[in-house]
Chain A
Amino acid sequence: MFSGWNWVAYGFYLVLNVCSPDASSGLVQSCGHIIPESPVLALGSNFTALCILNESCLDFGNIYASQIIWKIKNRLVPKEQYREINRTVSSVTFNDTSSLATPLTCNILADGQIEQNIYGITVTVGLAPEKPKNLSCIVHQMSRFTYVMTCTWNPGRHTFLDTQFRLRYSWPEEIFPDCIPKDVNDSCTITDIQFFVNTEIWVEATNALGKAESDPLVVDPIDIVKPLPPQNVSVSSGVLPTVLKLSWENWISDAVMTLKFNIRYRIVGDTNWMEVPCEDTAFPRTSFSVQGLRPYTEYVFSIRCMKEDGVGYWSDWSEEKTGITTEDQPSKGPPIWRIIDTSHSPACWTVHLIWKALKPFEANGVILQYEVTVRDKSSLSSPVKKYNVTSTNHTLQLPEGTYEVTLIARNSVGASPPSVLLIPASNSKAPVKNLRTLPKHDKLWVGWTAPNSYVLKYVIEWCLVSSSSDCIIEWQIVLGDVQGIDLKGIKPFKCYLITVYPLYADGQGSGQSVKAYLKQDRPSKGPTVQTKKVGKAEAVLTWNHLTVEEQNGFIRNYTILYKTIDGNETVVTVDPSKTEYTLSSLTSDTLYTVRMMASTDNGSRTGPDFTFTTQKFGKGEIEAIVVPVCLAFLLIVLLGVLFCFNKRDLIKKHIWPIVPDPSKSNIAQWSPQVPAKHNFNSKDQMYPEGSFTDVSVVEIEAEDKKSFSEQDLKPFDLLKKEKSTSEGHSSGIGGSSCMSSPRQSVSDSDEGEMTQNTSSTVQYSTVVLNGYRDQTPLQVFSRSESTQPLLDSEERSEDLSGGADSTAQRQQYFRQNGGQDETNTDRPCFERTKQFTHANEGDLVGFVQLQISGQSSQPLGLGMEKNTQEAALSSVLQTCTEGQTVRPETVEENPLPVDEMPKSYLPQTVSQGGYMPQ
């Protein structure tokens, strides 16, 4: 318990010692301190620090040097580096200060492992300055009387410390103020310079670790001067056209130094400088005449200077000044050439004389005019013509002949030597051979092989070929020993036409031409192709040549690419001279896409797509089909017409049948006893095609009824029923006719009963049952030439039946085409329209056959009279339109017994119950 209180008191004491103010040593009195205090150490050296504890701490807190621990920036220093010198002093040693850091602290590890800082120091590690090296100085002239000396040096390695550099200089008996560099450590500028005294200059570098001095530089500042360049340079032309005088001012007096100079000059626009030889300007002067210049040429001059003995530095070049030399007479005559236009008349030439302006170094001044002299060499008596021209061309109208043209250029000083051009009557001399071109960078080389004869000169003409403008000729004359030149100013991708003429002493050779490109490219556009003609399996394509501006090179070939929509592309290469091509083996009625590509040596360009569709039929195919068809049609029509013509009577009969006049009917002749009342069943109107239906008249006696088999009588029963039914609905034949089924043609033989009656004509007939059920039988078969009386009689019979039921005693049976069974009774009446009636005029002799094949489409119960008439008419019409043949049959021709299958009806004598005219 006591021990614990001791430790508390100890800690409190330590805190008080560290933190509490002390009257004698300031605010804080620590328990110790470190020696040395904040040292500056050389990097890489060893270092030992001592921590010395105060005696007062020892007495109270039991603190000893053995408890000291060292730390570098809170990092514990290994205890191997500690050494306890005595009970209050502990040392720490570092073999290499590079491992040091700030701060270095001395701490106490008291009992209870409480770590308490005693003291700390700041350690600065760096390097001593190195000896500055490579000291050099230069004196710059700032103005006429002002010089500054700038010295530079190599400061050496970085010291990590604040290092001061100072430039020092002195005379033996004079020490000058130091020059301290600002913001830099490797140069300084001295503004107070005295010449002609050797000055010792050196650099001193100082920091906390030491001082270093450079080797002294002993120099007279006058020997390191870089003077200002000569000022106020001026250029003036002299008397001679090849001399310019250069004048200037020196800004250094001779008392300071004498100078030598360096003069350079160049032609304006040229980049290459020329220099006046140094020995010509190696002494003090303020002017110099530059010789050997070109007349009437503008030159640029510049000058510099340095100390005459060559010790020091050259000044900068002075500002550039220009001057122009005076004019001189032209040094040579202008090159001259001609273009002869004989388009108007071969005998009268239009001669365009063209010449080149002299180059500046040839003209030697401003050319004021040209003098052209033309002499007709073919006629000695012709006067010499002279022309004064200010332009570089002149046009003459000359008759065909040989001329000598002389040209002189004149400036303000004099005239040039003459240039002579011989214009022969014809270019009959040998031309050059093997004319060829070769691109060389941005120039086009033109070469040729000389003719065998001696050539004086060659004229090379070239022009840019254009589709929109004339070829503007450029030309050049070269000497006869030249066999190739480089054409300059040639544009790439442009076509040039180059022509070479050899000029002989006594004439001129014909020109040889070649087309050339400096550089080729692919065409700027592709050809636009279109079809000229499209057939079934071929198409003729046509296109226009690309213009020369679009070609960009020699068109080597055209390529046609065509394909169907889903097919492979077919490629055809076409000669570049063609503008048309026929595609063959195409598929008919197919859409094709075609495009065209033009190719040069450097690429291709494709034109727009063009589509076309091949024809479905080839040429003549339609004609081959249509013409025979038309011919056949015409033939058929003709045959039809002929046929109709032949059958006109028959047609007429069908179309416009002869309508019997009812008033002239004579039915009484052959059925007088037949009562008016008879059934006019429509079933009887059914006839086979083109044949009459035989009407079998069965007279059924009531007594004999049983003699027939049941089979045979059944139809009669049915008929009776039908009749009674019909009567139940309507009275008269109208109802019966509509209820009855239309008679089928003979061909409808599937019905058994129908086969009983083969084709026969149904005649208007009436069957009157005789003696049915105790009534007076009537057996009357009436035949009439007209329906009208029958209708009348029918009406009457209807009236009759309407008055009494006596009509029920009659049984009528019409067997047509084997009888009509009940299955057809429900058919609509209008189907009967398919039936037709045949009427033969021949039949009209004995009787009139009137077939009533269709009765009426009207419902049952309508007026029968009307229906019957219409039906008769329609039947006749149908006969005509359907072309049914009429097979007239007469009873006489087919006399058949009644018990058999009667196929004809003969007028009968009125028997019992017969019809009698009334």
Chain B
Amino acid sequence: MAAADSPSAALRRDLCSRGIRLAGKMRADVVDLLDAYVEQQGLDASAGVAAVEGVPLAAVERWDEQTGTQRLLENLAAYRAFRALLAQMLEEQREQLGEADAGLGRALAAVLLQVSAFAYHLEELLRLESRGIPGEEGDAPPPPPRLSLFEQKLRGLGVLRELAQWAVRSVRDLRQLAKPSPAPGLPESP
């Protein structure tokens, strides 16, 4: 209880709350963006996209057995990867369409900002966990191979879909983190 009343606990709660809402907003925006992206790129919404290299997967086994730190680290790694992927997508988008579809570009930029913001939230939470923040360089994914235009579109579709999944997972992760933890490092009850 004392931890709950401390400033760090309040800050943690606030960061979790804000992160949850940000993840929710991010998911909503990504869902909207997906529709626009599919339409804009001329893709089929039902098109199946296999796992894209470099895109972290949201699905995980024994999710409920993860610790808070583990959740934060996985989220941070994923969103850092998404940040890079989205930045690449944005650049490719500008190269392909120029200023012809500024709306899609603005939406991509907005999602990119949200991803960055969410990564910042995760870093702050990790600081509160008294855990060192892993270096971004080391975790940076390898530069993606040169892809064809269609492959770029498919990859973009895969990134956005996976980001939407991660947004949902992140909400759940942060809700878990928001709950008062009995002891750091211990597995949390589902």
Contacts and interface: CB of A to CB of B under 8 A. Distances in A.
Contact of A195 (B22, B120, B123): B22
B12 interface: no
Given A220-B18, A222-B21, A194 B28 contact: no
Contacts of A220: 18
A703 interface: no
Interface string A179-213: 00000000000001011111000000000000000
A196 B110 contact: no
A708 interface: no
Contact of B18 (A172, A173, A197): A197
Interface in B21-53: 21-22, 24-25, 27-29, 32
B73 interface: no
Given A171-B120, A174-B113, A192-B109, A197 B25 contact: no
Mostly, the B contact residues are helix
A197 B120 contact: yes
B113 to A, nearest CB: 5
B22 A196 contact: yes
Contact of A255 (B18, B28, B106, B119): B28
A174 B116 contact: yes
Contact of B121 (A192, A197, A222, A254): A197
B75 interface: no
Nearest to B32: A145
Contacts of A255: 21, 24-25, 27-29
B67 interface: no
Given A172-B120, A255-B27, A255-B28, A196 B113 contact: no
A171 B119 CA distance: 12
Contacts of A197: 18, 22, 117, 120-121
A256 B28 CA distance: 8
Contact of B21 (A172, A173, A174, A196): A196
B19 interface: yes
B93 interface: no
A687 to B, nearest CB: 157
B22 A192 contact: no
B79 to A, nearest CB: 12
Interface string B102-136: 00001001100110110111010000000000000
A351 to B, nearest CB: 76
Contacts of B29: 145, 255
A192 B28 contact: no
A683 B121 CA distance: 175
A918 interface: no
A614 B167 CA distance: 116
Given A145-B32, A220-B18, A196 B116 contact: no
B120 A196 contact: no
A631 to B, nearest CB: 131
A194 B120 contact: no
Interface string A141-174: 0000100000000000000000000000001111
Nearest to A195: B25
A220 B22 CA distance: 11
A272 interface: no
A685 to B, nearest CB: 158
A253 interface: yes
Interface in A246-263: 253-256
Contacts of B119: 173
B19 A196 contact: yes
Contacts of B106: 192
Contacts of B24: 254-255
Contacts of A145: 29, 32
Contacts of B19: 196
B16 to A, nearest CB: 11
A261 to B, nearest CB: 20
A192 B116 CA distance: 14
A221 to B, nearest CB: 11
A76 B52 CA distance: 82
Contacts of A222: 21
A196 B28 contact: no
Contacts of A254: 24
A173 B29 CA distance: 22
A312 to B, nearest CB: 14
Contact of B116 (A171, A198, A253, A256): A171
Nearest to B114: A194
Contact of A194 (B32, B110, B123): B110
Contact of A171 (B21, B25, B27, B117): B117
A194 B21 contact: no
A198 B19 CA distance: 11
A196 B25 contact: yes
B136 to A, nearest CB: 10
A173 B116 contact: yes
Nearest to B123: A173
A174 B22 CA distance: 16
Interface string A214-255: 000000101000000000000000000000000000000111
Most central of B113, B114, B117, B121 by chain A CB within 10 Å: B117
B120 A256 contact: no
A596 B28 CA distance: 91
Nearest to B113: A194
A552 to B, nearest CB: 74
Nearest to A176: B113
Contacts of B109: 192
Nearest to A174: B116
A171 B27 CA distance: 21
B37 to A, nearest CB: 15
B18 to A, nearest CB: 5
B45 to A, nearest CB: 19
Contacts of A198: 18
A220 B121 CA distance: 13
A174 B123 CA distance: 13
A196 B18 contact: yes
Contacts of B25: 195-196, 255-256
Interface string A512-530: 0000000000000000000
B24 to A, nearest CB: 4
A699 to B, nearest CB: 178
B177 to A, nearest CB: 15
13 contacts: A145-B32, A171-B120, A173-B116, A173-B119, A173-B120, A174-B113, A194-B110, A194-B117, A195-B21, A195-B25, A197-B117, A255-B27, A255-B29
Interface of A: 145, 171-174, 192, 194-198, 220, 222, 253-256
Given A195-B25, A253-B28, A255-B21, 15 more contacts: A145-B29, A171-B117, A172-B120, A173-B116, A173-B123, A192-B109, A194-B117, A195-B21, A195-B22, A196-B18, A196-B117, A197-B117, A197-B120, A255-B27, A256-B28
Interface of B: 18-19, 21-22, 24-25, 27-29, 32, 106, 109-110, 113-114, 116-117, 119-121, 123
